[in-house]
Structure 1
Amino acid sequence: MANELESQMSHKLTGEAHTDSLHDEESLLSPLEELDNKKLDKIYRKLDFRIIPALWCLYFLESFGSSAYGLTLTMNADQGHSLGQKLKLSAHDISTASALYYVGYILFDVPMNLVMTKVSPQSWLARIIITIGLVYTLYHVLENSQGLIAIRFISGMVGAGTWPGMSYYVSLWYPNDRSTRRIGYYFTAAQISAAVAGLVSAGFQKMDGMRGYAGWQWMYLVYGLVTLACGISLLWWLPDRPFKTTTESDNKLHILYRKFFTPTHPLNEEEKKLHRMDLEGRYKKLSWGWRDLIEIITDLRIWPLIIMYFGVVGTGFGLAVFGSTLIAVNNPSLTSIQVSLLYAPIWLFDLAGILIMTPFADRRKSLRPYIFSFATAIIMCGMFVTTYAKGKWSRYGGLLIAGFGLGPTVPICMSWAAEIFQPTYGDVGTAVSAALVSGLGNLGSVVSTYALYSGWPADKARLYQYSNMMLVVMLGVSIIAAGVCELIKDRVRQPKESALPSSEESN
């Protein structure tokens, strides 16, 4: 097969010594339509088995912390040992600590993702999860509200760049018409981690009082250590870039690092060539400057995407942090363990939404804004049911409906951003658009965790009806933004000529 492939390409050879660079392969490789789709499908399935489980574990552990934090607000409340009771937190303390997590995320999302374009993405993602593990291990020694507020901000800071970083990483290995499903695959980790957090927290509540620690302290300690171990394993598990884009440094530390922490490439030589051919027409050089960043930030198309993300992620994190609170306030007869167990199915429904809807968003890329709007409308219906239904179990059913709608919305936002910005700006367009959408869009999380629910004490007497309706308003604005983006996406700054890496930059 390798010889056959070489013969198909030989009439295009330039005769130059550096024929393996992406620049030279522009004249070497056969057109994309001549590639064997069955062989490509096999290659991408092979990549899936290596890449997706690693990203899934990474995102599972990163997401677990957010879900766990919401659950600690009700864990062992019957014994007076919840996080708020143990640290003597006021409602203002809780909302401030919740919001500062997202402030840290927002401030550092763009710079963290830009760093990733300059370094080994595999090492950078491993760094993120290692530092998350270290920080969350320290949660078990918290003693007051000041410590919680500080460590929540630090948690957001060290976790910044995770979601856009993974989206950028996927864009290196997969073409856009295959990306939404892959993003959806590892995005399921967030839903499963939320469900697992609910189940696991019920078990940790049984450990309350052991060695003087509350149940939530045990949960954070174990979670932090497991996350740290997984982060270290990613250094050998997650492959780096599919193609080298810069000359390797002769620094002794860099050489030592590459010797021990560079994982094997998941594809053989024949598969590498086909994979490269499939990606070539979509791949642009990594070099960027401040002018590129300014162009992306001032591109009108980025702002509707940010607003889309603002509404859905604000609702998602609002339910992640305060979902157990809504369950408890709507059904006061439940024990804290029962509340934790009922929290889990919300995110299983979220998982179902991902698995059902994201494949359609890849097969019919032109329908992405409509699928997003449909899913967002489902969330709105769920929020109406959980707010105004008469029975307590009917209200709980509304949370399940909202969870189902939430699933596909974020993956669609990220893959649509890459589809719009990669052709015009190349690699840096994918990285910066993902970071801006995720970073600024997370202001929705700040609103839902700081201004709503515990941040709106008077709303508790109304069973948080007004907070729920504010999320519905945010979701409605997201649907409008999706329509605006669809209208302007082909009328603003269309793709420039491809600027592929020069031969001295590529391998």
Structure 2
Amino acid sequence: MSESPVRDEIASSKADKTASIDENSINSDAHDVDPKKLDKIYRKLDRRIIPALWCMYFLTSFGGNAYGNTLTMNRTAGHSLRQQLGLTRKDLSTASALYYVGYIVFDVPMNLIMTRVSPQSWLARIVLTVGLVYTCYSTLSNPGGLKAVRFISGMVGAGTWPGMSYYVSLWYPNDRSTRRIGYYFTAAQISAAVGGLVSAGVQKIDGNRGYTGWQWMYLIYGVITMAVGISLLWWLPDRPFKTGNESTNKLMVFYNRFFTPTHPLSAEEREIHRRDIQHRYVLLKWTFKDVVQVITDLRIWPIIIMYFGVVGCGIGISVFAATIITTNNPHLTDIQVSLLVAPIWLFDLAGILIMTPFADKFKKLRPVIFSFGCCIIICGLCVMTYAHGSWKKYGGLLISGFGLGPTVPICMSWSAEIFQERYGDVGTAVSAALVSGLGNLGSVTATYALYTGWPADIKRQFKYSNMILVLMLGISIIASGVTHFLRDKVRQVKN
């Protein structure tokens, strides 16, 4: 295990002539730092980091939401993506599954790369390439092209969610991370809501300049996303501390000079911040053996199962919300359906804002809060399935959205808490990628085997698909209890 990189940072801060540092503050123990001063520092970091991550996640999530909407956009005119490409149900389920296969295959290697390079540049690269690929969607003309580009979308977007979780762990201690993950996770909910509103508006320019509504959607979205990806190079700060000697390569010197933003904290604030999180900076250099140790740690698998259930349910609702609403109420217009998708994710946003602060404040109750969220989702799915009347079923979608909110952030912050403590940097990166990557098998299940991937269930108004999601959530609840048990058992063995 390598030493903490704090010595270089101390030397650097002492040499900084632009600010003076209170020596008593520097030499005091981190626990003696005024909590109000620490809170002020983290609020300052929030203002710089969270908006950048929020915009990043909003845009990378928007593509998936846009895809679900384009399947039904302008269908009365015969101009939906599904109609123009002549997509069968099998084509749709295969294309959706391939998207998550790309994520699953590349999540771990992409996140491991991020530990060796500039995190800020790597996250900017993700946004830029996602925008580029989605721009290419506007040229699609056949099912084979859709399947290929869906897989590529998953590949270039791999590492987004675990990468942001890893990035947050670089700047925030674990008792402050769940809330921050929840803050930018709201971008996915707002993105889904805005996606419905934007698709409703874009449908009105269907046919302009020879482009259909869905083509305009992808063109506008792709260009904006690429522009934001480039802006992240100057917006998002890099690591809080140096992790090695700077490269003398001329190209890297040029890049670091013009494409690396200034540190968001003053010299004194950096030192206080360093003392608060320096315990997190261990094992900055890793080998394949370290990766294997994380993969073979039994504690990772119940967290993956937790994520499997909740993300499968979330993606199932996200991709097929418009289809579910249309099936329950076929008299709605395309624009009305798009508008009804938005409130689902506003309820999800409310769940995040209400419950994630408790997950940070009461870390020992994370399995209880996670299970409570799952129970709310189950109630919503049961209402969707057994309530009489299309609007009551729609109410079930809203209830499920509220319960989904806190579940995913809890999975990510809990994995970071457990694996950073023992494995350090590589533990945070690999656990986040494994939970996100393998957990997305739940997304494959929801998009390939359920809903439109199960033609016989359409006539039942997706009754069996909903109940399979209930079963998956029940298993996730059990897995959260197993995770809690294994964590306490490992602590007892250590002591």
Q: TM-score range by the shorter chain?
A: over 0.9
SS of residue paired to 2:126: helix
Structure 2: distance between partners of 1:77 and 1:469: 29
1:257 is displaced (CA, Å) by: 0.6
Q: Does 1:464 align with 2:462?
A: yes
What is the root-mean-square deviation in Å for CA atoms of aligned residues? 1.7
Partner of residue 19, structure 2:
none
Which structure 2 residues correspond to residues 129-168 of structure 1 after superposition, within 5 A?
129-168=127-166
Work out the CA distance in 2 between the residues paired with 1:213 and 1:353.
Answer: 38
Q: Deviations over 1:189-237 (max 9, x none)?
A: 0000000000000001111111221111100100000000000000000
Q: Contact 2:129–2:226 at 8 Å: present in 1 too?
A: yes
Q: For each residue in 1:238-286, what CA deviation from the matched residue of structure 2 results, as whole angstroms up to 9, or x when unmatched?
A: 0000000011111111011111101010000010010001011232131
Distance 1:447 1:224 in 2: 28
The answer to whether the Cα contact below 8 Å between 1:184 and 1:355 also exists between their aligned partners in 2 is yes
- Give the corresponding residue for 1:339: 337
Preserved CA contact (<8 Å) 1:140 1:221: yes
157-166 vs 77-86, which moves further: 77-86
Q: Name 2:22's counterpart in structure 1.
A: none
Please identify, of 313-322 and 205-214, the stretch whose mean Cα deviation from structure 2 is larger.
205-214
2:446 aligned with 1:440? no
1:445 counterpart letter in structure 2 = S
TM-score normalized by the length of structure 2: 0.94
Q: Give the one of 270, 281, 284 matched to 1:283.
A: 281
Q: Which amino acid aligns with 2:181?
A: I
Deviation at 1:35, TM superposition (A): 1.1
CA distance in 2, matches of 1:142, 1:33: 58
Change (3 A) 1:193 1:17: closer
Structure 1 residue runs of 5 or longer lacking an equivalent are 1-15, 23-27, 498-507
Per the alignment, residue 61 of structure 1 pairs with 59
CA contact (8 A) 2:312 2:469 kept: yes
Q: Determine the structure 1 residue equivalent to 2:197.
A: 199
Matching residue within 373, 384, 389 for 1:391: 389
Using the TM superposition, give the Cα deviation of residue 108 of structure 1 relative to its aligned residue in structure 2, in angstroms.
0.2
| Alignment-derived partner of residue 49 in structure 1 | 47
Q: CA deviation at 1:490?
A: 2.5
Q: Contact (CA 8 Å) 1:75, 1:82: kept in 2 or not?
A: yes
Query: Where does residue 231 of structure 2 map in the other structure?
Result: 233
Distance 1:314 1:37 in 2: 39
Aligned to 1:361: 359
Residues 300, 492 of structure 1: 8 Å contact kept: no
* 1:285 counterpart SS class: coil
| Candidates 216, 231, 236, aligned match of 1:218 | 216
Residues 1:399 and 1:19: Cα distance change in structure 2 (over 3 Å): closer
Indicate if the aligned counterparts of 2:280 and 2:425 stay in contact, CA closer than 8 A.
no
Letter in 2 for 1:38: K
Count, aligned residues: 478
**One-letter amino acid matched to 1:338:** Q
Q: How does 1:173-322 map to 2 (within 5 A)?
A: 173-322=171-320
**Aligned amino acid, residue 221 of structure 2:** Y
Cα distance per residue 1:371-410 (max 9 Å; x no partner): 0000010001000001110011000000000000000000
Note closer, same or farther for the CA distance 1:259–1:324 as it changes in structure 2 (3 Å cut): same
CA contact (8 A) 1:168 1:430 kept: yes
CA 1:79/1:38 → structure 2, altered by over 3 Å: closer, same or farther? same
- Quote the residue 2:71 is aligned against: 73
Contact 1:423 1:496 in 2 (8 A): no
Write the distance in 2 (CA, Å) between the matches of 1:18 and 1:117.
18
**How far apart, in 2, do the equivalents of 1:134 and 1:408 lie?**
31
Q: What is the letter of the counterpart of residue 357 of structure 2? A: P
User: Structure 1 residues 47-56 or 484-493, which shifts more?
Assistant: 484-493
Classify 1:496/1:429 alpha carbon distance in 2 versus 1 (closer, same or farther; 3 Å).
farther
Residue 60 of structure 2 contacts residue 127 of structure 2 at CA under 8 Å; is this kept in 1? Answer: yes
The structure 1 segments of at least 4 consecutive aligned residues displaced by more than 6 Å after TM superposition are 493-497
Report the alpha carbon displacement of residue 79 of structure 1 after superposing the two structures with TM: 1.2
**Mapped contact 1:29–1:277 kept (Cα < 8 A):** no
3-state SS of 1:462 partner: coil
SS of the aligned residue for 2:261 comes to coil
- Give the whole-Å Cα distance in 2 for the aligned partners of 1:390 and 1:396: 11
Aligned residue in 1 for 2:104: 106
The CA deviation at 1:17 is 9.5
Q: Look up the match of 2:399.
A: 401
Distance change (3 Å), C-alpha of 1:495 and 1:347: farther
Cα 1:18/1:352, change in 2 over 3 Å: closer
Does the 8 Å CA contact 1:424/1:496 hold for their aligned counterparts? no
The whole-number CA distance in structure 1 between the counterparts of 2:148 and 2:123 is 23
User: What TM-score, normalized to structure 1?
Assistant: 0.92
TM-aligned CA distance change 1:250 to 1:447, over 3 Å: same
Deviation at residue 496 of structure 1 after TM alignment: 8.6
Q: How far apart are residue 80 of structure 1 and its match?
A: 1.3
What is the CA-CA distance between 1:97 and the residue it aligns to? 0.3
Structure 1 residue matching 2:464: 3-state secondary structure:
helix
Q: Is contact 2:283-2:423 (8 Å) kept?
A: no
